[in-house]
Amino acid sequence: MSENAIATRWRALGKSRALIPYVTAGFPTAAVSLDAMRRVVAAGGDFVEVGVPFSDPLADGPTVQRTTQAALEQGMTVARVLDLIRQAALRVPVIIMTYLNPVLAYGVERFATDAHAAGAAGVLLTDLPAGTDPAVEQAVSGRGLDLIRLVAPTTDDRRLKTALNNATGFVYLISRLGVTGARADVPPDLDAQVQRVRAASPSSAHLPVAVGFGIGTPAQAAAAARSADGVVVGSALMDALAKGGITAMERLTRELATAVHA
Amino acid sequence: MTNIATGRFGPYGGRYVPETLMHALDELAHVYDAARKDPRFWAELEGLLKNYVGRPTPITAVPRLSAQVGAQVLLKREDLNHTGAHKINNTLGQVLLAQRMNKRRIIAETGAGQHGVATATVCARFGLDCVVFMGEEDMRRQRLNVYRMELMGAKVVPVTSGTRTLKDATNEALRDWVTNVTTTHYIIGSVVGPDPFPRLVRDFQSVIGREARAQMLEQVGRLPSIVVACVGGGSNAMGIFAGFLDDKSVQLVGVEAAGEGIASGKHAATLGAGRPGVFHGSMSYLLQDADGQVQPAHSVSAGLDYPGVGPEHAYLKDRARVLYEAVTDQEALDAFAALSRLEGILPALESAHAIAWVMKTRRASHELILINLSGRGDKDVAMVAELTGAKI
């Protein structure tokens, strides 16, 4: 995957909205998660988020906690996740989602270099808010990986500017307060939130906005796609995988893709 | 000592949290920085510490223990605070900050239950909703404290994820905070977590060191040669060390839990055997494996059973201002028995680690040793009985 693969992909999408499925690497096994990465792309995923498990996932709800715990019990490590990404050789950009400590233990520069070499295009670090550790941010983004910034409903205008300044790839808008996990509805103020992020983006950047957290059904995905450029679905897919196996997860991905792309 | 602009102690500390919490941390830092400069804030806190908590706590000479150690030993009696430990110094300070932020719902994590009790106490006193997250395993070990919290109107939520101890209770409290951050203040119980918690908890606990220093000069006529405190997250230690950091002649010793021995892998000696990493919002020493996964800690004392440690301790270790040592479960249990028999004081198993270190190291007779007795041991009696095979 060449430099700016994420930007290239968004350009190719044009006005079409993007579905961004999330898969926990190593859940329920390494082999099944490799198959899952390929199938979510075949079923219409425009990007794939691949989760590297961490022992203390404090931004995640019960579903992702269970999958990452199971992945750790399978012996999943950063190195093995990168191997899976290399083997998957996906035709869409891969974004690694994890927490900072496994990356620190691997070595930030080494991680960025190896992840890029394995074919990853971006990384999203849940517990690294913009500006907290500039040295880590530089080490990541100096090596061809987009560091995807997260913004939240509680992000004030001053912080929003900080987060969007030098942001690349896209902006991940956390749609609601709380941890990851499917919810019954879509927040009523989602459109206003997306517009707020768009308005704060430097006009030269044309940063797409993807929303995530709590979106699980095709109807929710369709509603979110009316405002946002991309829709991230994680827990609902992991639930489908856990309960109905790979075909159930693939079926849900296809329904979500239809809803988002409509 | 802290760089307030960056919230760091050298390379340690910082704010490694989900973006959702950043605004609340900014707000807390802002409100705390204003409160720090407001004499009315300190006047209210000091009034509560005096008339509600019972401060100042005394320093107590312990002649029979001293004879055994071979040097003069004194105890700073944080066990005599209302609720039986130093934890309330911090919860009172933070509840006053919560009031300034108009937050009427309080959450907390707890290990042994002392911080949970101290939080439930101040919430009852100020009429606030209180939810305490506690590992299922710790609830079993500390049933009495669970009931104490419930008596004071707190809701105790069992945490069943991970190791079902303090580490996971903290994860769950952080998840609740991410969800309810606009209405809720999270009273962290130690000098851990994202900035500004490590420095504000230290500041609220530094009353221990300020009092102790003045009491030593007034009652003994000189400063101690050694100040010793146990270290889990490290709040009682930071509190007493804060009074003596500038006194270069005073040796500071933090005692971690070696559990079943460092070599066994079942311990909580984060500074002694861990390496730097990011956990629960800050950069500090951490018990972790080669892949950066957090390793479960072990200690007979639930309050020390934590794989992280406050970032200021990490900084003080690297600068060699504080010596960090460790004692085993057995040594702590022996010290628990010794202080009970020799002085009629039942120490918390946490504090017993500090006593154990003094008892096991060879001390010179001219030394003057001040130990922070961070809490009383009543909560541990049932557990000690179980471990020693006694029937009660």
- State how far residue A111 is from chain B, nearest Cα, in angstroms: 12
Q: How confident is the model at residue A2 (pLDDT cuts 50, 70, 90)?
A: very low
CB-nearest partner of A106 from B171, B279, B292: B292
Helix axes A62-73, A235-261, angle to 10 degrees: 120
Give catalytic residue positions of B. 87, 109, 374
- Candidates A58, A126, A156; nearest CB to B23: A156
* B278/A174 Cβ within 8 A: no
Residues in B touching A129 (Cβ below 8 Å): 15-19, 22
Task: Label each residue of chain B as H, E or C.
Answer: CCECCCCEECCEECCCCCHHHHHHHHHHHHHHHHHHCCHHHHHHHHHHHHHHHCCCCCEEECHHHHHHHCCEEEEEEHHHCCCCECHHHHHHHHHHHHHHCCCCEEEEEECCCHHHHHHHHHHHHHCCEEEEEEEHHHHHHCHHHHHHHHHCCCEEEEECCCCCCHHHHHHHHHHHHHHHCCCEEECCCCCCCCCCHHHHHHHHHCHHHHHHHHHHHHHHCCCCCEEEEECCCCHHHHHHHCCCCCCCCCEEEEEEEEECCHHHCCCECHHHHCEEEEECCEEEEECECCCCCECCCCCCCHHHCCCECCHHHHHHHHCCCEEEEEEEHHHHHHHHHHHHHHHCCCECHHHHHHHHHHHHCCCCCCCEEEEEECEECHHHHHHHHHHHCCCC
Residue B2 has what pLDDT? 61
Average pLDDT taken over every residue of chain A: 95
Asked if B120 and B153 touch (Cβ cutoff 8 Å), the reply is yes
Comparing CB atoms, the residue among B20, B167, B279 nearest residue A154 is: B20
Of the candidates B19, B24, B292, the beta carbon closest to that of A102 is on B292
**What amino acid occupies position B306?**
Y
Known active-site residue A109? no
For residue B278, give the nearest of A101, A150, A174 by CB distance.
A101
3-state secondary structure of A19: strand
Where do we find the tokens 């105790």?
A: B156
Q: Give the closest-approach CA distance of A150 to chain B in angstroms.
A: 7
Closest CA to B300 of B111, B66, B39, B63: B111
Which residues have a Cβ under 8 Å from the Cβ of A74 and sit 6 or more positions away? A26, A27, A28, A29, A30
Residue B21: the pLDDT is: 96
Chain A and chain B share a number of CB contacts under 8 A equal to 117
How many angstroms from the chain centroid is the CA of residue B120?
A: 17
Judged by CB atoms closer than 8 Å, whether chains meet at B293 and A72 is answered as: yes
Residue B182: closest C-alpha in chain A: A154
Produce one character per residue of A161-187: b if its CB has 16 or more CB atoms within 10 Å, e if not.
ebbbeebbbbbbbbbbbbbbbbbeebb
Interface of A with B (CB under 8 A): 54-59, 61, 65, 69, 72, 77-78, 99-106, 126-130, 132-133, 150-156, 159, 163, 174, 177-179
A60 catalytic residue (yes or no): yes
Residue of B nearest to A131 (CA): B15
> What tokens were used for A177?
């307060």
Would the CB atoms of B288 and A77 count as touching at under 8 Å? no
Res B1: pLDDT: 54
Locate the chain B residue with the closest alpha carbon to A57. Answer: B171
Asked if A55 lies within 8 A of B22 by C-beta distance, the reply is: no
DSSP A154: T
- What is the average pLDDT across A82-88? 98
Token pair for B22: 């950043």
Mean pLDDT of A237-253: 98
State the greatest distance between any 2 C-alpha atoms of chain A, in Å, as a whole number.
45
Give the chain B residue whose CA is nearest to the CA of A53: B293
Q: Which amino acid is at B291?
A: D
pLDDT the model gives residue A83: 98
Chain A CB contacts of B19 below 8 Å: 129-130, 150-152, 154-155, 159, 163, 174
**Residue in chain B lying closest to A60 (CA):** B175
Chosen CATH of A5-261 out of 3.30.360.10, 3.40.50.720, 3.20.20.70, 3.40.1390.10: 3.20.20.70
Q: Which residue of B has its CA nearest to A150?
A: B19
Domain definitions of chain A by residue range: 5-261
| C-alpha triplet A59, A62, A63: angle, nearest 5° | 105
Three-state DSSP at A41 gives helix
Q: Kindly report the backbone phi and psi dihedral angles of residue B261, in degrees, each rounded to the nearest multiple of 5, phi listed first.
A: 110, 140
Is A129's CB within 8 Å of B15's CB? yes
Mutate to test the interface with B, among A52, A54, A58 (most CBs of B within 10 A): A58
SS3 A52: coil
* Alpha-carbon distances, residue B343 vs B61, B81, B297, B303 (angstroms): 10, 18, 31, 23
- This prediction's pTM: 0.96
How near does any CA of chain B get to the CA of A216, in Å? 18
pLDDT per residue of chain B (392 residues) written in tens, 0 to 9? 566 667 899 999 999 999 999 999 999 999 999 999 999 999 999 999 999 999 999 999 999 999 999 999 999 999 999 999 999 999 999 999 999 999 999 999 998 899 999 999 999 999 999 999 999 988 987 888 999 999 999 999 999 988 888 999 999 999 999 999 999 999 999 999 999 999 999 999 999 999 999 999 999 999 999 999 999 999 999 999 999 999 999 999 999 999 999 999 999 999 999 999 999 999 999 999 999 999 999 999 988 999 999 999 999 999 999 999 999 999 999 999 999 999 999 999 999 999 999 999 989 999 999 999 999 999 899 889 989 888 88
All residues of chain A having their beta carbon less than 8 Å from the beta carbon of residue B174 are: 58
Retrieve residue B48's tokens: 């509560």
Question: Most A CBs within 10 Å: which of B177, B178, B291, B295, as the mutation test of the A interface?
Answer: B291
Residue A1 has a pLDDT of 40
Encoded amino acid at B272, one letter: G
Catalytic residue among A46, A49, A137, A239: A49
Are A105 and B292 within 8 A, CB to CB? yes
Q: Which residues of B190-218 are buried (b: 16+ CB within 10 A; e: fewer)?
A: bbbbbbbbbbbbbbbbbbbbebbbebbee
Ramachandran angles phi, psi of B77, nearest 5°? -90, 65
Helix (H) or strand (E) holding A98: strand A94-98
Separation of alpha carbons B98 and B92, rounded Å: 10
ipTM of the complex: 0.96
Q: Given an 8 Å threshold on Cβ–Cβ distance, is B278 in contact with A130?
A: no
Residue contact B179–A177, C-beta within 8 A:
yes
